[in-house]
Every structure is written in structure tokens, then in C-alpha cells.
């Protein structure tokens, strides 16, 4: 449109003014931008630099190799094996489901693992997801060959626990397993290692009690990660410290012999060096394969273990509490001798029973033993003799002697569920039941029945202390990380040689005199002869009516109502080296079910290998040879016997 010159002038003037105003406001905004830049990049630079470093640098722990567990001769009990697994990282895989589908065409992936991996992938976890674990080298090679078709999939190698002597050490060494929430809750300041995926800690046995020594210290890697957590490069590395090796006092071969000798019986046995307390074998049968637990046991396998009436999961050698029966009689005898209420020569008449407070307490021999002294009372296991001693000395003195010998005490070795047993006295009963101690309780306790409860470990300690007269302390660990653990051979317990000799003589007679209860399990070799004591402890009450009709023999009772068979012993009788305690649950008589095992174990501990046939009485040698030939023993390198191999 046509404009006058004035209008044009005015228009241009206005535009100039407003344009300059516009330019001024823009300059103000630019100044604000510049100031903000300066503030963030100069004043706050350090803060932001720190945040940027936080973003990109991630510290990854390097799990240390777990310490090995070996026997006294360095034979491997718990080791680490390389474990191949396949992981997938989400940001490289693209479509995780596609890749997993392709992968499952190559590897056997369980449907539940497949679903779990897919779920993990949806959770956008920055860490690689473990798809398959414990793969063979073949499977890993297949993955490597097909790598181009499997973006984001990578094989990884880690260490996992293996127990080459599987069943032999299940109860002693235990096993490792994944860290549970309750494991973490127990610790005040959990090692950050415990939160690394797939990390395993000791769950039971030596593995858990020696956890601190075995675990080692984690190393770490400073890595640069991208926004989705993938490692781009390593910035620095600090190596960790591998866990310390633990050397046990156990002899793996004796342990294996013991396990095989107990067989499928529900039984426990402990072999101990009487001079320094070293535990040579600690066995509970039947056993189980701890490797199953490391890999994650299936429901079927676990149910089979829990439903077995022989309780393979129970650690009977230290956790089982049994009435010691006649194996307790040495305690009663020593209590009486020490108190001076009886001498080594005193004798008692046994008519087959003792009347106490109007109640009749029977000797195992209905006809009675006639006049018996300590020697015969032990060798023929006369009950009445000990009833008599107990009445004279009283329960408190007996309990005191029992404690002195290691009963009723929790021996501190790194195993799980160690029982204290029970060494009752008057005060205990008052506190526990609120009733007075009765004279009948003393009578029952004198022969190791009633309230008295002991574990095979305690019985072995008792036997070692009887053999040496010293308060020797059991020890399971020889050295940790090359540093020897102290042992305690014990102090003399204040028992006079007279008393000890009298008991030793009695125990010798048990195994070597014609009428001894363990004469059938005697040793022929003079240098290997043993002393011991059998025990048969009732697990049921025998009513007066039954006694009148005739006591039902073990063979006619259901398995779980039969008597427990026990044997304690040491050898050689004149220069003791090893003590043994054997408990066969519901095994029947101690002399028939437990003593033969005790003899074999002592001879095995004393010999280098299978005990020589010449040590056995001539009449038994064929049977023993056959037994030894059929024993499912491991090869020296630990490989399992043919018969049990799958």
C-alpha cells in the first residue's frame, strides 16, 4: 500500500525502537544462559565431575577361590571345580526371547530356567543374566561356535564347590549353598561378597564353622560401564586373597573304611587319637551326597532323604544322644572308687536282681552272676554290682565323674548341631521336672539308662580319657592356611593308677576273657589287642508282665523298638593309641552288633590299610576276609567303589 514519507519514517522509527528492545531482551536471555553455563561448568564442575565418575565407574567384586578342605594327609575332601555357564546381556541381545529360543535349540534349557531368564530380562537388570549353569565343555563349545546367531550370549567360567569323597564327609564337612536372606540377616555387617550373584557360603559342618577362614578376601575390578551397565573396559584391578586351606585331623581312608563298615545300618562311630585328641574318623550312617545340595537338590531326592527312617541327614556321631547303657559302667565304678565307698577288691553278690525301695531292679542275667568283683562285673557286665556301687556313692558323684570324663559337655569342634548330651544330677531334675531325684533314678543311671544321654563323640572322648587318665580334648582341625591349630593332650584327672588299672583290667577282660561280653570280638595279635566295653541300651520299658512271660528277644521286635548296640574301646590295650565309640541304632546287643565294628575300626586305625587277617582269631578269618573283600571301599584317589557308581 502506498504510504506517505512521514508514515514510512514513523514506521521505520518504531521498528528500530522495538527491534532494539527485542535485541536487548535477547541479550538478557543470552546473558542468563552464559551465567548459568558458567555456574554449572565452573562453580559446580567438581560436583558434576564426581557424579559423572559415579555413573561410569563401577566396582565389581572378584570372588576369591574358596579354601580347600583336606584330610590329615592332604587328600582332597572339598575342592573347587571350574563351572561353565552361559549368560546373556540384555542390551546386546536385542530380542531376548528370540535369542533364548535359538539357544534352547542348542542347549538343554529347562522350561523354568527359560522363564526365569526371560523374567530377569524384563526387569532391566544391568547385570548379565545366567541362562544355564554347570554346562559341559561340549555345550560351551556349541555356544561358542554359534556365537554369531546368538547376540549377547557369552560363556563364562566360575568356580563351584565339589566334594570328591561325597558321602564320606557329608556330615563332617557339610556343604555350601547360595546365600539366603536369613544368612544375611544373621550378620551385622555382611561382606559385600555375599551379595554377588551365585555366591555360595557354608551351610553346615566345617564349611560353615570355618567359613571365615575358607572364604578369603574379595578382590575388585574398577570397570567402566555404559548406561545399561555393560562393562566397556577395565580401569584397575586389585586381586583378592584366596581362602585358607583347612587340614582336618581325619584320615580320609579310615573315614571311608568306617563309612563302608557301618554300611546301611543306622549307626555312628568316632575314632580318636587318645594322645592328642585328633579325631581320625567321625562317621554317621547312612550318609548322603553333599554335591546334590550344592547343585540344588531336587524335591524327589530331598524327600527320599527326609522320609528314610534311618535318617541319613542326621549327624548321629555328634548330634545323636543315646543312653550309653553298660558303656557307662566305668564312670560309676570310678566314682565309687574315688569316693572311697568301694575298693578295687570289693565284691557284691548278684542274685539276678536288686530290691530297692520295694522295687526290683533286674540284672540282664536272670540267673544272676553270684559273687562278682569289679573285674568280673565289667567283663560280664553285671548290673547289680553297679546298682550297689551307685546306691553307695550317689548320683551327684557319678555325674561329677561323668563330666570329668567328657560326658554332658558340648565338645567344641567345628561341626553342626553338636549335642551336650545329658549328665543328670539331683539339681538338674529339680530344675527340669520340679521333682525330687529318686533312688530308682540313681539305679537306672548307674548302668547308663534313665536320664543319661551321650553322643558317640562324648563316648570316644570318655574312652580316650579312661585310657590315658588325662583330660584329652578332641580336635578336628589340624591347620588352617598352613598355621597349625593347637592340640590339648589334657592334664591328669587325679585318678590314681590303682583305680585306672582296675578299670583297664576289667575292660581288657571284656575283650579277652572267655566270659567277656566282647570275647567274640577279640584280637589275636598281641601287639594289637584291645580293651573295651559293650553296651546295650533299651529304648522301651519292659513291663513286669513281660518279664514274667520272658523278655521278647530283639529279633522278634520291630526295628525301631530294638535295643541300641554300643561299644567303646581302645587299643593297643597296654599302650593306647586310638579310642573308638560305636553306636548302632536298634542294632540289638552291643557284643554282637557293635563290638565287631569297634574292633575293625581300631585295627584299621592301627594298620596301614585293610587290617591284616592275622590279627583276627583263626576261626573268624574266613568270614572277615569275605567281609573285607565285599566292603565297598574307595580307590586311594577317592574314586567311588564299582558297586555304587551310577
Partner 1 sequence: MTFLEYRLKTVPTGPTKLLHVNWPLVVLLIAIASVGFLMLYSVAGGRMGVWAEPQMKRFAAGLAVMFFVGFVPIWFWRNMAAIAYGGSVLLLVGVEFFGSVGMGAQRWIEIGPLRLQPSELAKVTLVMLLAAYYDWLDIRKTSRPVWVLIPIAFIMLPTALVLVQPDLGTALLLMTGGAVVMFCAGVSWWYFGAVAGMLVGAVAGVFASRGTGWQLLKDYQYRRIDTFLDPSSDPLGAGYHISQAKIALGSGGWAGRGFMQGTQSRLNFLPEKHTDFIFTTLAEEFGFIGAFSLLILYALVLAFCISSAIQNKDRFASLMTLGIAATFFFYFSVNMLMVMGLAPVVGVPLPLVSYGGSSMLVLMAAFGLVQSAHIHRPR
Q: Angle, nearest 10°, between helix axes 439-446 and 395-404? A: 30
41 sits near partner 1 (criterion: CB under 8 A): yes
Query: Is residue 184 involved in binding partner 1 (CB under 8 A)?
Result: no
As measured in angstroms, the least distance from the Cβ of 10 to partner 1 is 7
Q: Does 618 bind partner 1 (CB under 8 A)?
A: no
Q: How far is the CB of 40 from partner 1 (least distance, A)?
A: 4
- In whole angstroms, how far apart are CA 540 and each of 363, 412, 533? 16, 32, 22
Cell of 65: 577361590
Stretch that binds partner 1, among 11-19, 390-398, 423-431, 541-549 (CB under 8 A): 11-19
DSSP classification of residue 405: T
Closest contact distance (angstroms) between CB of 57 and partner 1 is 9
Binder of partner 1 out of 8, 298, 491, 639 (CB under 8 A): 8
Q: Is 359 in the site for partner 1 (CB under 8 A)?
A: no
From 5-13, 311-319, 345-353, 548-556, give the range in contact with partner 1 by CB under 8 A.
Answer: 5-13
Pick between residue 20 and residue 635 the one whose CB is nearest to partner 1: 20
R_g of the chain computed on alpha carbons: 37
Name the burial class of residue 476, with classes exposed (0-12), middle (13-18) and buried (19+) by CB atoms within 10 angstroms of its CB.
buried
- Given the complex with partner 1, which of 30 and 542 has the nearer CB atom? 30
Task: Locate 361 and state its grid cell.
Answer: 531292679
User: 54 exposed, middle or buried (CB, 10 Å; 0-12, 13-18, 19+)?
Assistant: exposed
Residue 10 contacts partner 1 per CB under 8 A: yes
By CB under 8 A, tell whether 574 contacts partner 1. no
Q: Which is nearer to partner 1, 47 or 485 (CB)?
A: 47
If the CB atoms of residues 185 and 227 are measured against partner 1, the closer one turns out to be 227
Q: Is 644 in the site for partner 1 (CB under 8 A)?
A: no
Give CA angle at 580 (415, 318), nearest 5°: 25
Report how far Cα 333 is from the mean position of its chain's Cα atoms.
35
Residue pair 587/594 in contact by the 8 Å Cβ criterion? yes
Tell the residue number behind the cell numbers 555404559, with chain if given: 226
**47 belongs to the binding site for partner 1 (CB under 8 A):** yes
Residue 147: CB minimum distance to partner 1, A: 23
In this structure, what C-alpha cell is assigned to residue 228?
A: 545399561
Q: Is residue 52 close enough to count as binding partner 1 by CB under 8 A?
A: yes
CB nearer partner 1, residue 48 or residue 433: 48
How many residues does the structure list for the chain? 646
From the list 230, 409, 447, 174, the residue with the least C-alpha distance to 323 is 447
Residue span binding partner 1 (CB under 8 A) among the ranges 32-40, 67-75, 261-269, 399-407 = 32-40
Is residue 542 involved in binding partner 1 (CB under 8 A)? no
Least distance between partner 1 and beta carbon 15 (Å): 5
The CB-of-48 to partner 1 minimum distance in angstroms stands at 3
Q: Which of 19, 351, 617, 636 binds partner 1 (CB under 8 A)?
A: 19
Q: Does residue 12 belong to the site contacting partner 1 (CB under 8 A)? A: yes
Q: How far is the CB of 27 from partner 1 (least distance, A)?
A: 7
For residue 259, the minimal CB distance to partner 1 (Å) is 55
Residues 602-626 as b/e (b if ≥16 CB within 10 A, e otherwise) read bbbbbeeebbeeebbeeebeeebee
Respond yes or no: is residue 326 known to be catalytic. yes
- DSSP string of 326-362, one letter each residue: GGGHHHHHHHHHHHTSS-TT-EEEESSEEEETTEEEE
Nearer to partner 1, 10 or 212 (CB): 10
Near partner 1 in 249-278, by CB under 8 A: none
Collect all residues with Cβ–Cβ distance below 8 Å to 443 and sequence separation of at least 6: 354, 356, 361, 387, 390, 391
Please report whether residue 94 would count as binding partner 1 according to CB under 8 A: no
d(CA 87, CA 100): 11
Shortest Å, Cβ 58 to partner 1: 11
Q: Which is nearer to partner 1, 55 or 180 (CB)?
A: 55
- Region binding partner 1 by CB under 8 A among candidate stretches 30-38, 176-184, 190-198, 439-447: 30-38
Q: Give bridge partners of residue 157 from the DSSP assignment.
A: 84
Q: Which is nearer to partner 1, 38 or 515 (CB)?
A: 38
Q: Which residue of the set 284, 287, 317, 326 is catalytic?
A: 326
* Strand 69-70 versus strand 246-248 pairing type: parallel
Can you tell me which residue has the cell 556313692?
393
635 binds partner 1, rule: CB under 8 A: no
- Show contacts with partner 1 in window 322-341 (CB under 8 A): none
Q: How far is the C-alpha of 499 from the C-alpha of 480, rounded, in Å?
A: 39
In 10 A of CB 133, how many CB atoms? 17
218-237 residues near partner 1, rule: CB under 8 A: 224-228, 232
Which of 52, 542 has the CB closer to partner 1? 52
Cβ atoms < 10 Å from Cβ of 382: 27
By CB under 8 A, the count of residues binding partner 1 is 45
| Min CB(318)–partner 1 separation in Å | 51
Q: Does 59 bind partner 1 (CB under 8 A)?
A: no
- Residue 127 is placed in which grid cell? 547385570
Residue 610 in the binding site for partner 1 (CB under 8 A): no
Q: Report the C-alpha gap between 423 and 439 in whole angstroms.
A: 16
- Rule CB under 8 A: is residue 144 a binding residue for partner 1? no
Q: Which residue lies nearer to partner 1 by CB, 55 or 553?
A: 55
Closest alpha carbon to 428 in 405, 456, 408, 406: 408
Kindly write down the DSSP assignment for every residue of 472-527, as one continuous string.
Answer: ---B-EEEETTEEPP-----B-S--HHHHHHHHHHHHHHHHSTT-TTGGG---SGG
Q: How far is the CB of 184 from partner 1 (least distance, A)?
A: 25
The grid coordinates of residue 504 equal 583297664
| Residues classed as catalytic | 326
Q: Which residues bind partner 1 (CB under 8 A)?
A: 1-3, 7-8, 10-12, 14-16, 18-20, 22-23, 26-27, 29-30, 32-34, 36-38, 40-42, 44-45, 47-49, 51-53, 55-56, 224-228, 232
Amino acid at each position: 500500500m502506498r504510504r506517505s514519507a512521514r508514515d514510512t519514517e514513523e514506521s521505520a522509527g518504531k521498528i528500530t525502537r522495538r527491534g532494539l528492545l527485542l535485541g536487548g531482551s535477547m541479550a538478557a536471555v543470552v546473558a542468563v544462559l552464559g551465567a548459568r553455563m558458567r555456574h554449572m561448568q565452573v562453580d559446580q564442575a567438581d560436583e558434576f565431575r564426581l557424579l559423572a565418575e559415579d555413573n561410569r565407574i563401577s566396582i565389581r567384586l572378584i570372588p576369591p577361590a574358596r579354601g580347600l578342605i583336606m584330610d590329615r594327609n592332604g587328600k582332597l575332601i572339598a575342592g573347587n571345580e571350574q563351572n561353565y555357564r552361559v549368560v546373556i546381556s540384555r542390551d546386546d541381545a536385542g530380542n531376548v526371547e528370540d535369542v533364548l529360543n535359538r539357544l534352547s535349540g542348542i542347549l538343554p534349557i529347562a522350561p523354568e530356567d527359560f522363564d526365569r531368564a526371560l523374567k530377569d530380562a524384563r526387569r532391566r537388570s544391568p547385570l548379565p543374566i545366567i541362562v544355564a549353569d554347570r554346562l559341559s565343555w561340549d555345550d560351551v563349545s556349541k555356544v561358542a561356535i554359534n556365537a554369531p546367531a546368538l547376540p549377547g550370549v557369552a560363556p563364562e567360567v566360575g568356580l563351584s564347590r565339589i566334594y570328591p569323597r561325597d558321602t564320606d564327609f557329608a556330615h563332617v564337612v557339610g556343604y555350601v549353598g547360595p546365600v539366603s536372606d536369613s544368612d544375611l540377616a544373621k550378620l551385622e555387617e555382611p561382606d559385600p561378597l555375599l551379595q554377588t550373584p551365585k555366591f555360595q557360603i557354608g551351610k553346615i559342618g566345617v564349611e560353615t564353622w570355618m567359613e571365615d577362614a575358607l572364604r578369603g578376601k574379595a578382590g575388585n575390578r574398577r570397570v567402566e560401564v555404559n548406561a545399561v551397565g555393560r562393562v566397556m573396559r577395565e580401569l584397575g584391578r586389585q586381586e583378592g586373597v584366596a581362602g585358607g586351606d583347612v587340614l582336618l585331623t581325619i584320615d580320609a581312608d579310615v573315614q571311608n573304611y568306617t563309612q563302608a563298615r557301618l554300611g546301611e545300618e543306622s549307626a555312628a562311630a568316632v575314632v580318636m587319637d587318645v594322645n592328642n585328641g585328633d579325631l581320625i574318623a567321625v562317621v554317621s550312617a547312612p550318609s548322603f551326597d553333599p554335591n546334590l545340595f550344592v547343585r540344588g537338590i531336587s524335591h524327589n531326592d530331598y524327600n527320599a532323604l527326609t522320609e528314610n527312617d534311618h535318617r541319613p541327614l542326621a549327624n548321629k556321631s555328634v548330634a545323636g544322644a543315646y543312653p550309653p547303657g553298660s558303656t557307662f559302667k566305668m564312670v560309676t565304678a570310678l566314682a565309687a572308687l574315688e569316693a572311697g565307698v568301694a575298693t578295687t577288691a570289693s565284691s557284691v553278690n548278684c542274685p539276678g536282681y536288686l530290691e530297692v525301695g520295694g522295687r526290683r531292679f533286674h540284672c540282664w542275667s536272670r540267673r544272676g552272676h553270684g559273687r562278682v568283683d569289679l573285674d568280673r562285673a565289667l567283663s560280664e557286665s553285671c548290673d547289680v554290682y553297679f546298682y550297689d556301687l551307685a546306691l553307695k556313692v550317689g548320683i551327684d558323684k557319678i555325674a561329677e565323674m561323668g563330666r570329668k570324663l567328657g560326658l554332658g559337655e558340648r565338645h567344641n569342634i567345628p561341626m553342626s548341631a553338636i549335642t551336650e548330651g545329658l549328665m543328670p544330677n539331683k539339681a538338674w531334675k529339680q530344675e527340669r521336672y520340679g521333682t525330687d531325684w529318686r533312688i530308682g533314678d540313681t539305679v537306672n543311671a548307674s548302668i547308663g539308662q534313665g536320664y543319661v544321654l551321650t553322643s558317640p563323640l562324648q563316648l570316644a572322648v570318655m574312652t580316650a580319657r579312661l585310657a590315658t587318665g588325662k583330660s584329652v580334648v578332641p580336635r578336628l582341625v589340624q591347620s588352617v592356611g598352613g598355621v597349625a591349630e593347637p592340640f590339648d593332650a589334657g592334664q591328669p584327672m587325679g585318678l590314681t593308677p590303682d583305680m585306672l588299672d582296675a578299670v583297664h583290667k576289667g575292660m581288657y577282660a571284656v575283650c579277652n576273657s572267655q566270659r567277656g561280653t566282647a570275647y567274640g570280638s577279640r584280637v589275636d595279635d598281641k601287639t594289637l589287642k584291645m580293651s573295651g566295653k559293650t553296651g546295650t541300651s533299651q529304648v522301651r520299658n519292659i513291663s513286669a508282665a513281660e518279664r514274667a512271660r520272658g523278655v521278647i528277644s530283639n529279633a522278634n521286635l520291630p526295628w525301631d523298638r530294638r535295643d541300641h548296640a554300643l561299644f567303646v574301646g581302645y587299643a593297643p590295650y597296654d599302650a593306647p593309641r586310638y579310642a573308638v565309640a560305636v553306636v548302632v541304632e536298634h542294632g540289638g546287643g552291643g557284643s554282637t552288633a557293635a563290638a565287631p565294628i569297634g574292633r575293625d575300626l581300631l585295627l584299621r586305625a592301627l594298620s596301614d590299610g585293610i587290617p591284616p587277617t592275622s590279627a583276627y582269631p583263626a576261626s573268624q578269618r574266613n568270614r572277615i576276609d569275605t567281609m573285607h573283600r565285599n566292603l565297598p571301599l574307595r580307590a586311594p584317589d577317592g574314586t567311588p567303589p564299582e558297586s555304587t557308581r551310577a
